[in-house]
Structure 1
């Protein structure tokens, strides 16, 4: 475990809604809601829509009166557009550090250990301003000694207007003053079930968690819980993804933290994984002509099982993210 890391997490603000605003600036400061491809459910919201009380994953018809009353701007999801703008954002961010890890379609970590002689808060502001200028997508930047703390710093940068979108935990003398304000439910790596469990045991904030008995943490939260505590204390346990040699094939896959029951949820997930794979493809200066999508149910659950896969071959090799996203969505609907 290394203790001399400095990480920045750059996270796009209300990414899908921001993408729609790039091509329609008249939407700025107006409520925007993104619906699943069949316009069935809410899958993304602008801050203005959140402030109206519009919740994620709710059926559109249940919000019809609210949409009408507040002139909410509705859009069907456009994953090709989101993937393309995500690629642009990540390309801009890569100019600020040679060590970048794309974590999802709208956020990435960069390593800033080699920039210790710079004013990192100011550097974060430069990153934010450049991304917004070159892509039109607003971002928040959180800087800290560990990835887990960088996540917390980013959350603060996004929620507290005083910091204007950039928060550097390295500038805080007593980090406990920050951790006492962070609910355990907001800690990276602490899921909903663990959050409820911790609350029942009077561990409500991040500060409560780092002050808990180590043996208790190891017993009830396993090694991952202990790792999270170490990260909150400033010891880096989660390194950047190592750089692999060029590959003939690239796989981007992940298990879901909760049951996925709708096509729109699958489309969003597949679009995210395609974006990650395409970034890896371009990073090794390669192109591809073949894409395969596979899905399966949880084989560890005593429920009806399903698994399937399908593929598409392009007429010519490409590394263009929207091409792959459009192909993957066609595959999903087969």
Structure 2
């Protein structure tokens, strides 16, 4: 299916919403406002025989992200939270064949590039898309898997223990700032420590983003999902009274299917329609893709020739500048000089 044909199946106009899930447990386990879980809950109530596909962190035989599926709403919590590496979709096409044959209503959440490939597959197989609901995510780019594997290996060696949980963004330490969390099999926990800051710093600055992501064709408002989800950055400026403590989701409605789902969402949280201008001024990945840093090639040359510790020291958090910045911010948070 061509990109143009996919777009023609969606509405040409979009509606934009800020959303906060009122279920405290669900919003705490989400990266932003918990919209995904509310949307899934509604779909389970509207349709029979629902299955949901999403990105899950797996820890055997090694730490990786993978697209898996769930037939129960209660199991969909594992799909919450940002994963800054792409989920492996190798099993998705087999899943689809099985679930189509079993008459399931299939909800698929993922990156726009992944959903585009999946929708192409549906066209080839001549599957009826009326039995599918697509949720695409606003993407900053996907992190290099080899680098991530080396980073978690470094952590395991440093603390002499296997990692059993890795959160790229830990809401317990605030919505903003991208704090990370790691738990080891020996019980030790790392909560937004200086060494953990390496991955978000390198990711947000673009050093460990895959090169192909810098020319992404999906970094615009021509979405491939029925609904688009992301962080509703900048909402405080237009909605001053809104409580952003646990995060706020941006929901973009792209189809008639999504309008039906969203007509029920106020039962599960606070929702308010917001202006397009508010969205695009604070979500640059809806306007254009991430630009590569000037020293992108130098970073990878150093990584390949000298190893991960060298790049962490030069470009990550393991240097004097980031050390000072990290502890100044902790001081500001402690004394309520900085809002997380």
TM over 0.5: no
Structure with the bigger percentage of helix: 1
- Looking at both structures, which has the greater relative contact order when contacts are Cα pairs under 8 Å and sequence separation is at least 6? 2
Q: TM-score, normalised by structure 1?
A: 0.25
